Structure formats: structure tokens, C-alpha cells
Structure 1
Amino acid sequence: MPQALSTDVLIIGGGVAGLWLNARLRRQGFATLLVENASLGGGQTLKSQGIIHGGTKYALHGALSGSAEAIADMPRRWREALAGSGELDLSGVRLLSDAHYLWSPGTLTGNLASFFASKAMRTRVDQVKDDQLPPALQSPAFKGKVYRLNELVLDVPSLVARLAELAGDGLLAGSRIAALRDGEELVGLRVDDYEIRAQRIVLSAGAGNEALLAELGLRQPAQQRRPLHMVLVKGPSLKPLYAHCLGGGPKPRITVTSHPAADGQWVWYLGGDIAEADGVARDQTAQIAAARRELETLLPWIDLAEARFATLRVDRAEPAQSGLVRPDNAFLAEHGRLLVGWPTKLALAPDFADRVLASLERADLRPAARPPLPALPRPPLARPVWEELLP
């Protein structure tokens, strides 16, 4: 017989959106249960670069966009959480870099001049030189300019581990999910051998939302996937670098973040324009060749002789937009007890939680007295992608 469980909020999906929401709800006294069918953070979350954007990269055309305004307050909220004084206590999460950088390999011309001259940008950007440069750019051969952004870069595996701690006993490893109805009304979900009733059910499973909605007989909200073809580089000569390299267009030419591997070496994780349209069209061999050419052009003093390369295809799952454009904000749709959403970016996880909490407040839902959960099978933490691809 299925085991009956009850909770205030049932969350499906153990990426950063579900885990952050789970921790926020628990801190406010709600009973929660989060279900993950594979590993915590193993979808989009651990494939992200860990950058907590403040919107600057969305303003490279010289003006603040909707995306830039929507995400502007996220670094402050994350910094407060990392200090233990914010909406969550994330003290102990490893901060890889207290700033992200804009890096120009040559002179700034055209629309970038208006970008740096704009009043909005002067409060977000400071030029750095000499020993303030990122370690990988501290070379006599470097002739470009570097600007420090009011952003930060997190070690995402340690973030996932901390959010899993904050989940307490409220995590469940479960693979088979089906609707639990009372007549026509959705009242919960069947997860493997459990029947779980909840006041609200939140689907925050990223790309998995599509199949979950189909299982529940819903076609809306529709989902889109925007693909990336990321590149990983590991080698003994690599030094930390967290920067967007400007190319004169509306997107960074290349975005580099650096991640510590278990063997003590650094792994560079490359996104930006190289990972988008042209990169998606390339096969692995061609993408690695393109990445090597870019690094040799932009950072010729870095010795790549012993470097190893790998690529990773990532689908960014988001609410469907006309023309596959990137949504500006986190997204949430309501269908009775069912809430469906995507944070759209790692940095916007707090915004996603805000939207769920606002929905609960509008419905005047409050924590209910519930029996403690029994011991449940717990999903494992995902391994970092660089440990899988470049051990």
C-alpha cells in the first residue's frame, strides 16, 4: 500500500530554484518536501558558471535592458546570504571570486564607449590595473583594459551542498510521478510508493517540467530550450580568471570562469558567444579547435601544451518566448494548487522564491501543524561536470 504523507508545499526538482525555495519556505515555518529523480543540482545548476550577475553583460549595447534592470539587485541579496545575514544563511558556501570582470583585449570603440560613459554603468564598473588584475591577466604581454563589476562567482557544488543541508529531512529521491486527485481536483502527487498531499505543488524541475506537465495533462505554460555548447579546459598552467571578454558586439566574445578540481588544478569553463549559435552548430572536435584558437589569440602567454579540453552541451530550459529570446525575470504560472516556473538564471533563484511566496500570500495560505516526516530515501549530490569530463 502507498504510504500517505502530507506537507504544505511539495516541490519537484532539486536544482537551485527548488532548493532555494525549499529553504526559504522552511525558514518561514512551512512544511515542505522536495522530490528529485536523479541528483541534487545535476541538471542545469551544476552546468552553470556560478556567476551572480548584476546585469552588466546585458547592457553591452550601451544602455540598460530589461534583463539588466531585473537582475540588478541579485548580487546584494546573494552577498547578504553568503554573510549569513540575508534571507538564507549561506555562510560556508565557497566564494570563488568577489568580483567578475569585463576584459577588453584592445581599445574600446563604438557602442562600448557609450556603455562605459553612461551614468548607470559608472556605478557598476571600475577599471583595475597592475596587481589588481585577475591572476591570469597579470602578464607583461597583456595590453588590454579590465573593469571590475559588482558581481560575484560562487562554487556551485558547495552552494548545492549547503542548500541540501537547509532542507533537513525534507528531501525525497523519487522517479515515478503521477497525479493524485480527489475527483477532478489535483490534491497532490504519487511519487513511487508515496501518496503526498499538499496545499501547493511547485514544479521547478527545469527541462523536466515539460514531461511533468504532460503527465498532468497540461500544455501550458509552454517551455523553450536554448542550447549552449560549453568548453572546459584543464591544465597545470591555468590561473584563476573570472571575466567576460568584450568583442564589440552585444554579447561577450567569451566568458571564462575558473573552478578548482579535486586534483588541485584549475578548470576554465568557457561560455559567452563561443558557446552560442556557431558553437552549437560545431561538433566537439571543431568546438575544441575554435576554443583553443580563441585562447591562443586572446591569452597568448598562457601555455596550453598540457591542457586537456572537453565540451558540454547544455539546454537552458525557460518559459517559451517569441523568437526564443531570453526571459528577463524568473517565471511562475498558477493552475489551482499547481505552480509551475523557471528561474531562467542561477542568479534569479531568489526572485523565483519571491514569486512563489507572493502566490501563497495572495491565497492566504499559512503553515499547518503536520506530523514529522518519516525517514525517506535521500537524493545524492551531483558531481561537478569537470570531475566527470576531465578527471
Structure 2
Amino acid sequence: MTDSRLRVDTIIIGGGVAGLWLLNRLVAEGRNAILFEQNDLGSSQTIASQGMIHGGIKYALGGALTGESEAIAAMPEHWARCLEGKGDVDISACNVLSRHFYLWSTRSLTSRLSSFFASKMLRGRVDSVKADDRPPAFDSSKFKGSLYRLADLVLDVPSLLHTLSARHSDRIFKIDWSEAQLQREGNRVAALRWNNGLSISADNFIFSAGAGNESLLAQVELQQPAMQRRPLQQVLVKHDFHSPLYAHCMGTNPSPRLTISSHRCSDGRSCWYLGGDLATEGVGMNSDALIDKARKELFELFPWVDFGRTEWATLVVDRAEPKQSQLIKPDKAYAERACDNLLVCWPTKLTLTPDMANQVGELLAPINTDNGIQAPTELQSLPRPEIATPCWETLF
């Protein structure tokens, strides 16, 4: 590959759900796009997602639906079309863990009212669950709270990564930044160059590397857009209660007191992956203290459930996002031009990935047919990244 000079329409750097979704969409639109990832596909933030595709539950629980939240309200339907093979990206091969998830409250008045108002504001997408229809985790006369079923989705994130990467595996490559560099000339990214002489230029460069966007921007001597990190410390409990549950527990805060997703481990046991306020408030706690808090929380909420033998672990997750005033959580996806041919994007949450892709599409340069449509054959000898392994397989 010595002294090889290539050109494509778009180079995407970052192989999480954002980059993979963009690759599928841009190739479908006729662009000669390729993607580079330095680690495993979906590593860090994507693989740590609980897979819930929601339509704005946090806005409803907070008591208001804003203009910015209108984009997220349309997301479950958008994802559903894609799962049917009828959307902008075909993910019909992706495994769906559940076609709904639950919202429940304890007996406290504040919590019950929060659930009630949430059900009214989610525009008919919430049904109250009768006692006879409760999932096994709530199938007890001791459960005295309110239970609602939300018409939203829960996806198997490893399956989503496999689905998005499989169709265009000939366009996905592993990159070692000790052997390659981005080069800037004036107000453009000139090329991606390797030490062995390989050089690729593009009409569009897209940084979709999550927390990695910060170092990529520094590599081309840019400081904007600025990034923020909002960490979580999630808790995992492996147990012998095999009925899956995907649910938010409402407490006294606008945000969920506890969010639960269920995952089957390769050894056949079940794992509940715990988020919500538990994960947010657990930042800075040592692992043992947070596990002790999670154990008490779980057994307080489900005293009637026999979990059998339990194993516990924690996972620190850095949520990388465009910088906000006072480091608040962004309400929408983000894509902006950093220089003439460079876009930087963050979906900010899994749900908003298609909205982020819409924003990117509006900013891209027109398709240059001189770039061809086939992935460059000169790249096929480059290494390929693997799919990231989920935390419930690595932490126990």
C-alpha cells in the first residue's frame, strides 16, 4: 500500500451505534462511505446501553413536553419502521428483547401521582396493567403500587451492533492511531494518512466517536464543539430469577428511581442491569457501597421475589455529549460543522440516533459521483474490529 492515494465521499471515525447507523444510511443514499474504529465496535458507551427506545418518558415524568422533546416522541415509531425493514436503515435482523417496558410506582402518594401524570402526558402510549396481566416480577398480592405498560421498545444492543455492521463489513476497518494521523490544511481536514504511505482524502469527515471526539478534534487542532462527560455507575446483579423485566420505578424525583433491563448470560443465568437514580447517585461511591445500596433497594422493591444465588458487579460509564450550560443533560441529538468538511456528532442517547443522522444528512456536501460507489480494494488488507462484548459477560 506504499504511496497509495485514495478518495472517498465520506470517512466516518467512530464505530458505535452513531457511526454504524450513519454508515448504513449514507451507503444507502449512494455515498462511498467507509468507517474506522480503534477498539471494538460499540465499545464503551453503546455496549453499556440498556437498549430502551423510548418516546420521551423523562419529559413526561418531569411534568412537561418541550419543543426539543418532540423529536424523541417520534423515535419509537421510526425505530419500529426500521425493524420492519421499511425505514432509512434496515435493522430487521436485530433481536428485540421486548415490545414494551413497564413503569411502576410504590405506595407513596407522590410516586403514585407521578405515575398517573406520566400516563396522561405520554399521549395514549401507556396502559394501566391489571393484576391478571402483571409480569412475574409483580405477580404477588404484596405488590401495592401502580403499574403501567409503555408501548416502546427494548433492543438487544449486541444484536443491533451485529446487524448494523454485517451489511457493510467491507467498509469497516480497525485503525491504530500510533500508525495513522489526521492531517489538516487550512480550514479542511486534508486526509487520513498512514506511516506506510497510504493516504485517503474525503469530501466529508465525520467524527462519531463519543468520548473519542475530544482527542480527534485535538488531532486536527480544533477545540469546538466542546464536549462534556456525565458519568454513571451502573449495577449488575446475576441471579436465578429467570423471568425478564424491563421497567422504570418512579420515586419522588422526576427521573426514575430505578431502571431495570434483563439479559441472559452465556452460562444460562439471568442478569438485571440497574440504572436510573441509583446509577446517577452512585457516581463517586466505591463499588462495595453502591452494591450494598442496590441490594437494599432491590429487596425493598421486590421482597416477594426469590433471586436465588446472586453475584454483583458495577460498571462506570462515561456519557459523552456536547457541552451544555451547567453540564445539564442535552435534550436532543447533536451534529455540527467543525470546519469546512468536518462534522462532529453525538446522538446523546441511543433513542435519538436516527435524529442525529437526519441532522448529519442536512450538513453533508452533495454526493460527488467521481468518488465511485465501491469500497476501495486497497483497504481490504487492513484489520477489522470485533463486536464489543457486553458487560454482563465480562464482569462476572
Interval containing the TM-score (normalised by the shorter chain): over 0.9
Q: 2:192–2:199: 8 Å Cα contact kept in structure 1?
A: yes
Distance 1:305 1:338, change over 3 A: same
| Secondary structure in 2 matching 1:169 | helix
Matched residue, 1:173: 174
Match of 1:112 in 2: 114
User: How far apart, in 1, do the equivalents of 2:390 and 2:195 lie?
Assistant: 27
> Is this contact kept in 2: 1:62–1:116, CA < 8 A?
yes
Q: Please name the residue that 1:51 is paired with.
A: 52
Show the 5 A alignment for 1:372-391: 372-374=375-377, 375=380, 376-390=382-396
Q: Identity of paired residues, percent?
A: 48
Partners of 2:43 and 2:142 in 1: how far apart? 39
Report the Cα offset of residue 181 of structure 1.
Answer: 4.2
Letter in 2 for 1:364: P
Go from structure 1 to structure 2 and tell me whether the alpha carbon gap of 1:117 and 1:202 turns closer, same or farther (over 3 Å shift): closer
> What per-residue deviation string (whole Å, max 9, x for no partner) do you get for residues 32-79 of structure 1?
110000100112000010000110123213222455323111100111
In 2, the alpha carbon distance for the partners of 1:235 and 1:210 equals: 38
Corresponding residue of 1:353 = 357
Is 1:232 equivalent to 2:233 in the alignment? no
Is 1:332 aligned with 2:335? yes
C-alpha contact (below 8 Å) 1:55/1:67 kept by paired residues: no
Q: Distance in 2 between matches of 1:169 and 1:290?
A: 46
Q: CA deviation at 1:260?
A: 1.6
CA contact (8 A) 1:229 1:311 kept: yes
Counterparts of 1:183 and 1:306, CA distance in 2: 61
Measure, in 2, the Cα distance between the counterparts of 1:23 and 1:272: 31
Alpha-carbon distance change, 122 to 24 in structure 1, aligned in 2, over 3 angstroms: closer
Which amino acid is 1:154 matched to? Answer: L
Give distance in 2, aligned partners of 1:245 and 1:239: 17
1:197 to partner: Cα distance: 0.7
Deviation at 1:329, TM superposition (A): 1.1
SS of the aligned residue for 1:109 comes to helix
CA distance in 1 between counterparts of 2:33 and 2:285 reads 43
Aligned partners of 2:119 and 2:48: how far apart in 1?
34
Moved more, 347-356 or 310-319: 347-356
Take 2:361 and 2:119, find their aligned partners in 1: how far apart are those partners?
39
Q: Give the deviation of 1:20 after TM superposition.
A: 0.2
Q: 1:140 offset after TM fit, Å?
A: 3.0
Paired positions, count: 386
- Equivalent in 323, 326, 333 of residue 326 of structure 2: 323
- What does residue 364 of structure 1 align with? 366
Specify the alignment match of 1:279 in structure 2: 282
Give me the TM-score of the superposition, normalised by structure 2. 0.92
Equivalent residues in 2 for 1:196-211 (5 A)? Answer: 196-211=200-215
CA distance in structure 2 between the partners assigned to 1:147 and 1:114 by the alignment:
9
1:207 and 1:92 map into 2 onto residues whose CA distance is 28
Shift in Å at residue 143 of structure 1? 2.0
The 2-side partners of 1:246 and 1:355 are apart by 33
Q: Given the alignment of the two structures, is residue 250 of structure 1 paired with residue 251 of structure 2, yes or no?
A: no
Q: Secondary structure at the match of 1:75?
A: helix
Tell me how far 1:182 sits from its aligned partner.
Answer: 5.2
1:121 aligns with: 122
Structure 2 segments unaligned to the other structure (5+ residues): none
CA contact (8 A) 2:248 2:260 kept: yes
Aligned counterparts of 1:10 and 1:96: Cα–Cα separation in 2 = 32
Match of 2:345 among 333, 341, 346: 341
CA shift at 1:382, angstroms?
0.8
What corresponds to 1:140 in structure 2?
141
1:296, distance to aligned residue in structure 2 (A) = 0.6
The superposition leaves residues 336-376 of structure 1 with CA deviations (integer Å, 9 ceiling, x where unpaired) of 1010111100111111111111112xx43344442642213
Distance in 2 of aligned mates of 1:210 and 1:372: 28
Give per-residue Cα distances to partners, 1:167-220, cap 9 Å, x unaligned.
231011002142234566422222564321111000000000011111110010
User: Does the 8 A contact of 1:175 with 1:191 survive in 2?
Assistant: no
Three-state SS of the structure 1 residue aligned to 2:313 is: strand
Distance 1:130 1:114 in 2: 17
Structure 1, unaligned runs of 5 or more? none
Could you list the per-position Cα deviations for residues 137-167 of structure 1 after superposition, in whole angstroms to 9, with x for gaps in the alignment? 2233222221111211000000000000122
Segment of structure 1 superposing worse, 28-37 or 374-383: 374-383
Instruction: From the superposition, tell whether residues 40 and 191 of structure 1 become closer, same or farther in structure 2 (CA, over 3 Å).
Output: farther
Give the match for residue 84 of structure 2: 83
Root-mean-square deviation (Å): 1.9
Question: What's the secondary structure of 2:296's corresponding residue?
Answer: helix
- Say if 2:240 and 2:308, in contact at 8 Å, map to a contact too: no
For residues 191 and 322 of structure 1, what CA distance do their matches in structure 2 show? 38
Q: Which residue of 1 aligns with 2:154?
A: 153
Q: 1:191 to 1:42 in 2, by over 3 A?
A: farther
1:220 alignment partner AA: Q
**1-structure distance, mates of 2:249, 2:145:** 10
1:134 CA displacement: 2.6
